[in-house]
Structure 1
Amino acid sequence: MKMTLTTILFLLCIGLFAGFLSGLIGIGGGIVMVPLLLLLGMSQHQSQGISLAVLAVPVTALAAFNYYKEGYIDLKYAAVIAVFFVIGGYLGSKFAIQIDEKMLRKVFGFILLIVAGKMIFGK
C-alpha cells in the first residue's frame, strides 16, 4: 500500500482514536484498529498483524500508569495475564495465518458480535 499524505493522516487518526478509547474504556487493538485498517483497504491478516505490532511496544504504558496511580491495577493479576497472553498470542497467530482470509474475517466478526451482545445485554 502506498504511503500517501491521506493514508498517513488516516493512520494518525486511527492511532489517536484507538489510543483515546484504550485509555477511556480499555479497548483499542482488535476492536478499533482492525476494522479501521480494513476500511483503509488492508486484508484481515494485514490489519491484525499491524494491530499486534502496534501493541508490541508499551504504547499503553502511560494510560496504565494513570490507572495504577489510582489503585485500579493489581500487578499480580496483570503479570499472570500478561505471561499467558504472550503464549496465547503466539499460538493464536500461528493458527490465524493458516486460516483463509474470508473465514478469518467471519470469525473476527462473530467475536465482535458476541462482545457487543454481552456489552449491550449483559449485567
Structure 2
Amino acid sequence: MTTLLLAILIGVCAGMLSGLVGVGGGILMVPMFAYFLGLTHHNAQGMSLAVMLPPVTILAVMNYHKSEPIDWKIAAVVAAFFIIGGFFGSKIALVINQAMLKKIFGVIMIIVALKLIFSK
C-alpha cells in the first residue's frame, strides 16, 4: 500500500511540474523512484520513460495550444528524433555504471539549474 501511495505522489508531483513548467519526467521522477521506491538508477530511468509512453501530457498540451497554438510540424519532427535519440541514449546509459550515471544526471541538472537561475 505504501508503494502505491508513493507512486500516486510521484505521479501527481511530476504531472504538476510538467504542466507548470514543461518538465517533470526525468528531473523529478528518476530521483523520486530511486529514493522513495528504492529502484536502481537504471531502473528509475526506465520507469520514468515507461510512464511517458502513453500520452500523459495530452490535457496539458491542449491547454497550452488553446492559449498559444503549437507548431505541430516542428513538434512532430522533434518527436520523431526524440524517439531515435531515446533509443541510442538508452543503449549508452545501459553500459555506463550506475554511479557514473548518477553523476552525469546530477551535473546536467546543476548546469540547467544554474542557466535558469542566472539567465535573464
Instruction: Give the TM-score of the pair, scaled to structure 2.
Output: 0.95
Q: Are residue 94 (structure 1) and residue 75 (structure 2) matched?
A: no
Equivalent residue for 2:4?
A: 8
List gaps (5 residues or longer) in structure 1.
Answer: none
In structure 1, the residue matched to 2:53 is 56
State the identity %. Answer: 55
- Would you say 1:78 and 2:75 are equivalent positions? yes
Deviation string 1:12-65 (CA, Å, 9 cap, x unpaired) is 000001001111110110111011111121111011000000001110011111
Please name the residue that 2:116 is paired with: 119
> TM-score when scaled to structure 1?
0.93
Secondary structure of the equivalent of 1:31?
A: helix
Structure 2: distance between partners of 1:104 and 1:21: 23
Q: What RMSD, in angstroms, separates the aligned Cα atoms of the two structures?
A: 0.9
Q: Deviations over 1:50-102 (max 9, x none)?
A: 00000011100111111112224111111111011000000000110111001
Structure 2 residue runs of 5 or longer lacking an equivalent are: none
d(CA) in 2 for partners of 1:34 and 1:122? 26
Does 2:14 correspond to 1:18?
Answer: yes
Distance 2:86 2:30 in 1: 16
Aligned residues: 119
Give every structure 1 segment of 4 or more consecutive aligned residues whose post-TM-superposition deviation is greater than 2 Å: none
